[in-house]
Structure 1
Amino acid sequence: MYRLARPTVQNTTRPFVWVDAWIPEDRRSGIPVLDDAWVRAGVYRTRAYIDDNKKTLAPFLESGLNEMEVGD
């Protein structure tokens, strides 16, 4: 994972954060090469739903930041 960001408009039905995540080559076969969600080589932007990822996202959500660069 490279970056977490809160959306500018939140989904009230199922809240989420944007995640820019490194996708290993052996896991990319199901994602179209020309998908606009590829933000740079090997990095895909997707949603991480808060209800499914509470523990993992807790430090980011508690920080109050709108965006956070994470690990490499």
Structure 2
Amino acid sequence: MSVFSVDIQDAASDVQRINMAISQAVGSVVDGRPVALNELMVLVGAASELASDKAELIKASASQAS
């Protein structure tokens, strides 16, 4: 399995986690409940991991191009 496919799978997993956290937060707001700190932390953590995966993909792409 190549580095690209692993990083793309990691990024896809992070996107799924972000979508789940957003859905849970929106559900809380719709139900009239405050958004839990845990839901926000999951969202921030997944977004951070996605940014890291993107940086790794860019670096791998640049090294392969040279």
**TM-score between both structures, scaled by the size of structure 1:** 0.20
Higher fraction of helix: 2
**TM-score between both structures, scaled by the size of structure 2:** 0.21
Rg larger in structure: 2
